[in-house]
Structure 1
Amino acid sequence: MSRTLAEEEAYDVRPLRKGVRSGILFSIMNLAKGALGGGVLAGHVAYMTAGYLPAIILNLIYGVYMCFNFYILVLSAQRLCRRCHVASMTYPDVGEAAFALFPNPKVARWSTCYRKWIDVITCLNLFGSCAAYQLMVAKTIKQLAEDTQESILEGRHGLPHLRAYIAFMIVPFIIICLITEIKYLAPFSIAANVVIALAIIITCVYAHKNNPGFENMVVANSFMDVIKYTGMAVFSMSCAGVVIPVENNMKEPNKFGIVLFTGYIFIIGAVFLASFFGYVAFLDKCESPITMNFPLTMGPKVLKGFIAVMIYVTHAVNFFMPFNCVFFYLKPKFKPEKQYKMELLFRAIIVIIISLVAIAFPSVDALMGFLGCFCLSNMAFICPNTIYVLVHYERPGKNKKWLIWRAVLLSLFGVFILFCGSFVSGKDLVFTVFKKKPEGTTTTEAGAVVAEPPPAEEAT
């Protein structure tokens, strides 16, 4: 521990960081890769939900807001590393240390609870993302099997319900999640980013082809629709799970601000391109992932297949970190010779649980909205401000009242999203399960009820 403020300021953690470290450019790529996963493929649905004007404005505001919060989170992590003389910390480490080192013992005693709370919301977010990815893969396979552009939960041409496709995919998802070394998945993760970039470019082409005049776009929808947009937008732009690991692996951690600000310019721009032009191209027919809207000709079909494979691999990459967190608590309960077998068993069990969640709530958009509101409101808005106050409260020259008021004001928005947004998105999730389908109708994958086409004889 640094005994004085001068010692803390002078301490350099870089000699403690061994191994190969990333430069600025590679760090920016890692940060962008952490944010631009499957969520960016659903951004056009968010724009359709809110209307393009509030969506564009909030796209920028939320991106800047998250960027600032992650910046103060990393500043806190760097100060705690110097204060504790350690090379690096994880997000839960930072939360625990911020509480444990606070001079008031009534606050410090909550350190372990706070760490576990961060572990819980991180695991919920990433496991929930895996459920959304399973839905994306199942929807793509279902569309290719039925060879129809319209997307509904029920099967066409005597083929199964969407939930059946998710159930059929449980074993393949278990198999890939049994890989215990993430290095085997890393090359596929890079390829996934290339395919996603290709999908964004093709989306812009379809926007120019389908709607060159930008006609028939809704300017703004209701306030509740904007709340639904918020969860999906936060989900598509957040890199809460990777922001501290990226800093930990930098050659020059003092230049992380450049990495973060440059990375978020790229993230905000990519989300805007995919979302806005996706809405321009497909208007009220938007479906997630965005490739669901592409026509069923040979080229787009191949791209749809690639997207399904890449999301399948991304599911395993996303699964890796939260499972390690869960097994960290389970591992000591087993004898050393049984730990590997138990790890494989629990990997399979958790994948099955994730699949059951996807089967129960077969709406990608509602699931992403709920995760964005419930989990990321904590990880991206509330926790960074709480940690920053605890770490910097006793520093000389800091206005303590201003620190607290700023944290309260910046956290209020996160609290609003947590309660109001989670309620709205949670209601949408429940709607997909309990909505009663009237006779002669079908249910879309977003939960809406639409009329079935009449039989061929009646139509004639």
Structure 2
Amino acid sequence: QNPSEMDALCPSPPGPSRPQRNYERIGGRTGTSFFQTLIHLLKGNIGTGLLGLPLAVKNAGLVVGPISLLVMGIIAVHCMKLLVKCSHHLSAKVNRQSLTYGEAVQYGMENVPWLRRHSQWGKRTVNLFLIITQLGFCCVYFVFLSDNVKQVVEAANATTFSCQMNYTNQTEILVPSFDSRLYMLCFLPFLILLVFVRNLRYLAPLSLVANVVMTASLITFVDVIIPDDVFFLTLLFYYPLFFGTAIFAFEGIGVVLPLENKMQRPQTFTLVLYLGMGIVTFLYISLGTIGYMCFGERIGGSITLNLPNCWMYQSVKLLYSFGIFITFALQFYVPAEILIPPAVARVSERWETAVDLLLRTILVIFTCALAVMIPELDLVISLVGSVSSSFLALIFPPVLEILAFHTEGVSPMVTIKNIVISLVGLIGFLTGTYIAIVEIVARNALKHKEALSSFVVQ
């Protein structure tokens, strides 16, 4: 079965001895409880994307942004529910205990006669986008770690115990240090060592600490004073950047089926999904709106980059960075378990460990190289969200429902609804990817121009 980062932290106990249908799933008596599943669902959706939402609201405007986040949250939850519904239907049809995302798409395509020959490509396509998404998250983590730690180091001499918000919207840089790319290279060996831990159950205690730290760091924001440079509406040109960042934040569709499969009482998963995603959506709208209202047009790619110079807020950056550092291993787990086992199976037993570690090293170096090439946190988030998250979260689930219930007949209204959702995802993918690439090229050109001007002056 296709892996998920949740497989390591809440592994499946041995399943029933015979295929079972309906809600007799893998978890059984030793599965996860309602509360445990809720915590895992929250963890699967709350990451660096949350901290980029104030900038997303800036790109959409203070009126359109929160409304769009609410609409996108409703659509994302609906697509998650569709995925679970289709998985139940298809697993009963093929007499399987459970299905992964890729297998659901594969069996859905087998349900349509003229697609049956190509059904394996459905699974491969989902795997490809899972790999792109998770490695994209890893690239974002490199940029996030370098930007935040760099800012803490450069402002260390000016950091005080006074945490009064001055609304200059950026931590003052007093002692310029290395380029952020060098910070990424400093993190590289430590992240390589981290992913050498193949059984992530050993990281479970650190993951719990990371969850607590990341949650605690979100409650440190202060009073809201709306600056003069807050815009209630913004240019339509920047809306695709909002879409990419927002859909990146709703990153948890990949953990929905593994969590549902491992519950003690999977029939309660719908309540877990609605409750958990309701909390997530409320948190996204609140932090995105309040963050933009606090810092205005100078909001950074991560709201942590705007916090003032005091030790409490600098510790918040370091604590959240620690949480992201540990979470890197969880995000890396999915592409590693898809790509590495087939390669290891081709070598002799004495070389298996060496090849496994070598491939893990190469993958981490690859993600670091991509981050070094595009060290712009906000644009990397928007690009990853537009390219891959839009397919997994918005395009595939509605199409899967049409395929899964093809033989039973799908009503015209359901078909129209699914086509509309998929078109929204496709348009967001095309426009978001284009605008993100245009902005990346423009910023790189501006940096080269500034560097050249500085060199000429010297």
State how far apart, in whole Å, the 2-side matches of 1:279 and 1:127 are: 28
CA contact (8 A) 2:302 2:378 kept: no
Seen in structure 2, the aligned counterparts of structure 1 residues 399 and 115 have a Cα distance that, compared at 3 Å, is closer
Equivalent position of 1:81 in the other structure: 91
Asked if 1:193 is matched to 2:211, the reply is yes
Counterpart selection for 1:259 from 252, 272, 276: 272
Runs of 4+ off more than 6 Å: 148-152
Q: Could you say which residue in structure 1 is the equivalent of 2:446? A: 435
> Deviation of residue 290 (structure 1)?
2.0
Residue 123 of structure 1: how far off its partner (Å): 0.7
Distance in structure 1 (CA, Å) of the matches to 2:238 and 2:362: 36
Where does structure 1 lack aligned partners over 5 or more consecutive residues?
1-9, 443-450, 456-460
Q: Tell me if the contact between 1:17 and 1:87 (Cα under 8 Å) persists in the aligned partners.
A: no
Contact 1:231 1:371 in 2 (8 A): yes
**Residue 234 and residue 416 in structure 1: after superposition, are their counterparts in 2 closer, same or farther (change >3 A)?**
same
In structure 2, C-alpha distance between the alignment counterparts of 1:351 and 1:439, rounded to whole Å? 31
1:191-218 per-position Cα deviation (integer Å, ceiling 9, x unaligned): 2232222232112x2x43xx1x565421
Aligned partner of 1:331: which letter? V
Residue 189 of structure 2 is matched in structure 1 by: 171
Higher deviation after alignment, 14-23 or 276-285: 14-23
Residue 217 in 1 paired to residue 230 in 2?
A: yes
Q: 2:143 aligns with which of 128, 135, 142?
A: 135
- Alignment match, 1:3: none
User: What's the CA shift for 1:358?
Assistant: 0.4
Q: Deviations over 1:301-348 (max 9, x none)?
A: 222211121111111111111211111332322223322221111000
Which residue does 1:290 correspond to in 2?
303
1:212-263 Cα distance to aligned partner (Å, 9 max, x none): x565421011112111111101111231211111111112222221111111
**Counterpart amino acid of residue 256 in structure 1:** F
**Contact kept? 1:37, 1:236, Cα under 8 Å:** yes
Which blocks of at least 5 consecutive residues in structure 2 are unaligned? 1-19, 159-167
For 2:211, give the aligned amino acid: N
Whole-angstrom distance in 2 between the partners of 1:436 and 1:388: 46
Counterpart amino acid of residue 329 in structure 2? A
Count of aligned residue pairs for this structure pair: 426
Other-structure match for 1:145: 153
Task: Give the Å deviation of 1:124.
Answer: 0.5
TM-score by length of 2: 0.87
CA distance in 2, matches of 1:172, 1:151: 31
Alpha carbons 1:393, 1:403 under 8 Å: kept: no
- What TM-score results when the alignment is normalised by the length of structure 1? 0.86
2:376 maps to 1:363: yes
Q: Contact 1:136/1:308 (CA < 8 Å) preserved in 2?
A: yes
AA aligned to 2:140 is: A
Query: How has the CA–CA distance of structure 1 residues 269 and 49 changed in structure 2, closer, same or farther, with 3 Å as cutoff?
Result: same
How much does 1:112 deviate?
0.9
1:333 is paired with a residue of what secondary structure? coil
CA distance in 2 between partners of 1:438 and 1:304 (Å): 31
Q: Which residue of structure 2 aligns with residue 4 of structure 1?
A: none
User: For the residues of structure 2 that align with 1:14 and 1:340, how far apart are their CA atoms?
Assistant: 37
C-alpha distance in 2 between matches for 1:424 and 1:392: 36
Identify the match of residue 426 of structure 2 among 415, 422, 443. Answer: 415
Q: CA deviation at 1:36?
A: 0.6
User: Is 1:115 matched with 2:123?
Assistant: yes
Measure the CA separation in 2 of the matches of 1:333 and 1:403. 46
Deviations 1:71-106 (A, max 9, x none): 011100111222222222211111112112x151x2
Within a 5 Å distance, the mapping from 1:240-279 to structure 2 comes to: 240-279=253-292
CA positional deviation for 1:127: 0.5
Report the residue type matching 2:51 in the other structure. L
Q: How does 1:440-455 map to 2 (within 5 A)?
A: none
Q: Is the 8 A contact 2:28 2:264 kept in 1?
A: no
Mapped to 1, the partners of 2:303 and 2:136 lie a distance apart of 19
Aligned partner of 1:44 among 27, 39, 54: 54
In the TM superposition, what are the counterparts of 1:315-394 in structure 2 within 5 Å? Answer: 315-394=328-407
The amino acid across from 1:159 in the alignment is S
The CA distance in 2 between the partners of 1:22 and 1:77, in whole Å, is: 19
Give the letter for the 1:26 counterpart. Q
- Segment drifting more, 430-439 vs 293-302: 430-439
Aligned-pair identity (%): 21
Change (3 A) 1:59 1:255: same
SS of the equivalent of 1:240 reads helix
Query: What is the RMSD computed on CA atoms of the aligned residues?
Result: 2.6
Q: Residue 162 of structure 1 aligns to which amino acid in structure 2? A: S
The residue that corresponds to 1:92 in the other structure is 102
- 2:78 is aligned, of 58, 68, 78, to 68
Q: Which amino acid aligns with 2:319?
A: F
